[in-house]
A and B are shown apart, each in its own frame.
Chain A
Amino acid sequence: MAFDVDAIRDDFPILARMVNGKRIAYLDNAATTQKPAAVLDAMREYYENSNANAHRGGNALAEEATEIYENARKKVARFVGAAPSEIVFTRNTTEALNFAARFCAGQLGAKRILLTEMEHHSNIVNWQLAAKSAGASIGHVKMRSYGKLCNEDVEKQLEKRPGAFSFTHASNVLGTVNDADALCKMAREAGAFSVVDGAQSVPHMKVDVHEMGCDFFAFSAHKMLGPTGLGVLYVKKELADKLEPIFGGGGAIESVMLSGTTFARAPQKFEPGTQDVAGAVGLAAAIEYLEKVGMGAIEKRVEGLHKACIAGLKEVGGVHVHGNGEKTGIISFNVGRLHAHDIAQIASDDGVMLRAGHHCCQPLMKVLGASATARASFYLYNTEEEAQRLVTSVKRAKKVLS
């Protein structure tokens, strides 16, 4: 089936937005994606027809809400190749990674943590906090200048016997994809639990957590057409059964006595308090949408846009692209000595939405030797024309500023 981008764009009301009298070209998808009407409708439909407190009470509506919530979980589980009981809903990837860090450095007893230089702050600061309270040390795998990890570096670090190895599946700055299967295998063989940050990978490629062999895997709904406020932490079954919850409260228990509590089974024991049912409904609708278009088709589409944009940028002259983000549609770049903020500002005046800054990755930026980069990131609803508008804006920025 041909990829009908016009039909897809019609599904996203915000793409008709005008800024400065120009139609927006939304190229900040690595930060957050736009939402199709199907997702917004599903959430509204839930609130209008089925809203009640899931996992509380036996009234008809509460049972319906519970079923809707759990069906959403099943859909998410199937999408990433997990069992529903292995899927814990969180607020976002950051919260999921914080949970993973505290599980590893706490109950799982990791005294040394291995990270990489290409992590988002959300996969650095969480470990620093967890390691501090557990008295654990932290090591880092070097990032090679071309934006990838090298297996030899990883092996060398694993010889120091870390209890956990956490790494990003795809870099939010460079868009490069790490070989998560191989890295998880290496961690396993070295006796380390593996934690994978999948925020940038799940929206763009078929992920199967069982095949990958990770122990924890985190991602966010809002980067894959779903709503903000909902994230997912996959916890491998044998760990999910064993681990005790970090936060306690209603709905996560089996029985509470004043002397102590026995907990519900996973995943409920990790989800105390009223849950974001509408968010889960939105994520399920987003997954349905992605599957309808087809993950393979999306991957191909994004790769094509990436290629076209790179070709256009190369013609501008003086544009330096960091890494290779063809699989994730990310292009992080600098133009001569121009400041990334000026480029993003001028592009924004043209209606082209970019991101500029350190992208919450200061250690990675240090390796790149740049204080800030401009970043364009594509998704299924973007067009070649929008890629060309970016190129035109970069040309204009060069002209205005030099």
Chain B
Amino acid sequence: MNEDMYRENILDHYKLPHHRGKMAKASCSGHAINPFCGDDITFYLKMEKGAVADVSFEGHACAICTASASMLTDEVKGKSEAKARAIGKERVLEMLGIAPGPTRLKCALLPLKAFKLALYSHLGKKMGEKEKREIDEADENNAEEAGKDSASGKVSK
């Protein structure tokens, strides 16, 4: 299963990530940490006319997490709020093209968490239970070493 985890598309995004860097005038941001391995990802969004006009991310993370963040920026850019909201775990894994084990699944989904936190802070809404569960799902397998994840989203003025 792990044999091809470092496949070409993942390595390409890892070595040259898309939309990397802090966004100066972001509408909102979302920050998620995985204390299990120290991965740390922040997503910045520029929201215009009900859509994701621009997106970027920064942080330090393993190859899987970095590639996942990079692919996710490509995926959400230009999407309407509703379509961006609908992006879930399945889509992220589909883009990565791997089926990671419980530990690496958490790496793969951390950017989605940061993105959703940013989006929801902008929408000023609470995340639905189903969506929340989907993002948090990967955490449950790692309670042993990590304790709880810390994450936060905020709206920029």
Collect the chain A residues with CB atoms within 8 Å of residue B61's CB.
339
B21 to chain A, nearest CB (A): 17
Structural contact, B2 and A341, CB atoms closer than 8 A:
no
A1-42 residues with Cβ-Cβ distance < 8 A to B are: 20
Structural contact, B37 and A401, CB atoms closer than 8 A:
no
- Whether A362 sits at the interface, judged by CB under 8 Å, is yes
- Whether B13 sits at the interface, judged by CB under 8 Å, is no
Partner of A401, one of B14, B60, B145: B14
Collect the chain A residues with CB atoms within 8 Å of residue B3's CB.
20, 349
- Whether A390 sits at the interface, judged by CB under 8 Å, is no
Chain B residue at minimal CB-CB distance from A348: B2
Collect the chain A residues with CB atoms within 8 Å of residue B102's CB.
none
One digit per residue, 1 when the CB lies within 8 angstroms of any chain B CB and 0 when it does not, for chain A 352-364 equals 0000111010100
Collect the chain A residues with CB atoms within 8 Å of residue B104's CB.
341, 345
B143 to chain A, nearest CB (A): 13
Chain B residue total in the interface (Cβ 8 A):
22
Collect the chain A residues with CB atoms within 8 Å of residue B39's CB.
339, 371
Structural contact, B60 and A371, CB atoms closer than 8 A:
yes
> Given known contacts A345-B5, A400-B6, is B35 in contact with A339 (CB within 8 Å)?
no
Collect the chain A residues with CB atoms within 8 Å of residue B107's CB.
341
- Whether A342 sits at the interface, judged by CB under 8 Å, is yes
B41 to chain A, nearest CB (A): 12
- Whether B62 sits at the interface, judged by CB under 8 Å, is yes
- Whether A173 sits at the interface, judged by CB under 8 Å, is no
- Whether B11 sits at the interface, judged by CB under 8 Å, is yes
Structural contact, B63 and A339, CB atoms closer than 8 A:
yes
Which interface class (under 10, 10 to 19, 20 to 34, 35 or more) fits A?
20 to 34
Structural contact, A345 and B2, CB atoms closer than 8 A:
yes
Collect the chain A residues with CB atoms within 8 Å of residue B145's CB.
357-358, 360
Structural contact, A401 and B36, CB atoms closer than 8 A:
no
A64 to B42, CA, bound (A): 62
- Whether B97 sits at the interface, judged by CB under 8 Å, is no
Collect the chain B residues with CB atoms within 8 Å of residue A365's CB.
38
- Whether B139 sits at the interface, judged by CB under 8 Å, is no
Structural contact, A358 and B62, CB atoms closer than 8 A:
no
- Whether B58 sits at the interface, judged by CB under 8 Å, is no
One digit per residue, 1 when the CB lies within 8 angstroms of any chain A CB and 0 when it does not, for chain B 59-81 equals 01111100000000000000000
Chain A residue at minimal CB-CB distance from B1: A20
Collect the chain B residues with CB atoms within 8 Å of residue A371's CB.
37-40, 60
- Cross-chain pairs A/B with CB under 8 angstroms, 20 sampled: A339-B37, A339-B39, A339-B61, A339-B62, A340-B62, A342-B6, A342-B64, A345-B2, A345-B62, A346-B6, A349-B5, A356-B37, A357-B37, A358-B38, A362-B35, A370-B38, A371-B38, A400-B11, A401-B6, A401-B63
* Beyond known contacts A345-B5, A345-B62, A371-B40: 6 more, CB 8 A cutoff: A349-B5, A358-B145, A360-B145, A371-B37, A401-B15, A401-B63
A residues contacting B by CB (< 8 A) are 20, 339-342, 345-346, 348-349, 356-358, 360, 362, 365, 370-372, 400-402
Which 9 residue pairs are nearest across A and B when measured between Cβ atoms? A371-B38, A339-B62, A341-B62, A372-B38, A342-B63, A341-B37, A342-B62, A372-B37, A349-B2
B residues contacting A by CB (< 8 A) are 2-3, 5-6, 11, 14-15, 35-40, 60-64, 103-104, 107, 145
